Structure 1
Amino acid sequence: MEGWEYLKFDDPKQDKITANSSELKSKLLLFINKKGNSASAEIQSIEQAVEKFGHKPDDTLIFLYSTNSANAQLAAETIQEYFNSKKYETQKIVVQSINSEDEFDKGLADLLDKVASKMIEWKNRGSDIYVNVTTGFKAESIFLALSAFMIGGKVYYRYETFNDIILLPSPPIIPDQNIVNKLSQILNSSTYIISKSNRYNLSDEDIENFTKNGILKEKDKDAYEIREWVKKFIDFANKIKKETH
């Protein structure tokens, strides 16, 4: 099936992938083993990274995430099986697909909840965190890179033009604690709604800036609510704060 990797979430051909996933996965693995890691940008970038950074299968966990579309899960399962055959420990999770502006908040919140929170867990165990932003959707990759920078993780990218892995500069990124505190106050209340009668000490300028920056969204006239992904991000920021104090 040509172009299977580019199918949209609701494409009817996704059902064919689901019905034939085992056969397709076997064929993909044969193709990868025949062509080598250049058959997959994900595999190629990961293998180049572990070689460059001196990582071994017995001390490396490869954490994969995919959306819940059939073609994305087929790709992730194939990559997972490939690395399992190389004696790497792997984990795979599924996050919600983002197929529209309306789904963006939920998809990003799911990503922060299932992936970014894992970074803190592993960091607390003393593990080094490396995030591969070579592949995947750009918006999600940006947020994962920011999350990695916030906990002192490393982010790498494979440049196809000169076929090498580059560690991206890791600037210290610390959330504005004043903003985190203001939003935490709202999230700790019984309602997330900001209205004329309940402004949670937010100024007009706060509300205007938070709305422009995508932190708040207008619910009704003169009423706003914190966007779904921001709730998860504030939880992530508060966890980092606890672990560093």
Structure 2
Amino acid sequence: MRILELDAGNSRLKWRLLNKGQVISNGFLANSEDWQYELPRLFDQIGRVDSARASIVSGDERFTLLSAAVNQHFNVSLLKAEVKEQWRGIQVAYSGLGVDRWLAMLAAHHVGGAEHKESSSKMVVSCGTAITIDLLSGSGNHLGGYIVPGVGLMKRMLHTRTAQLPMVEAEALTMTPGTSSADCINNGILAMAVAMINTQQSQYKAAYGKECVIYLTGGDATLIQPYIHGECFHHPSLVMDGLGLAFEEEG
């Protein structure tokens, strides 16, 4: 069974192809690219597909475009993940939760191998266009979360909403005080992102007497991870790992 998985985020369309449950190829398209032109080229390279499923946070228009392209090229329907209030051990805290956050929590709750601690509380952090934080109890209850601008978005906001501050493209290398405007922006934004996550870890420990296991995903995860306190794992494909769980029957 060859399954195409799609994660349509605010900046990129990430994709991967599974064959018998194993990832055999993957990549991404930027949202700024011409999907009408790029999708047929990409799908030609992918080859045969027996099933397709997607996480969509970039709008209904994107899903309509993707669904039509998948159906036309592979003659299969594109399944769209939808948040369920209670599913596979996860109980969401409120309606209107983003599907990408739900999928990431599903995957974090079911991560296998040596790092799986079913009774452990978890903090699921996506470091993308936005930084989102979701807290999960060991039993799978969603305790709520946070949404703030991501590292790149904060840089663009400072540049576009101020008269003289530069746009900084390079990644920050440290959180020490900057000695130029560019360094002050870069290091300061990284320090803010890191402090946001570490503060939630400290608050959780103060409230419950134990730390969360932190699961990081998103494009800036590797930038942020070295500064995170406590047990922390980087899972680049956490959202797509949740897609399979979203469509599996509970058993």
Alignment TM class, shorter chain as reference: 0.3 to 0.5
**Structure whose residues are more often strand by fraction:** 2
TM-score with structure 1 length normalisation?
A: 0.36
**Structure whose residues are more often helix by fraction:** 1
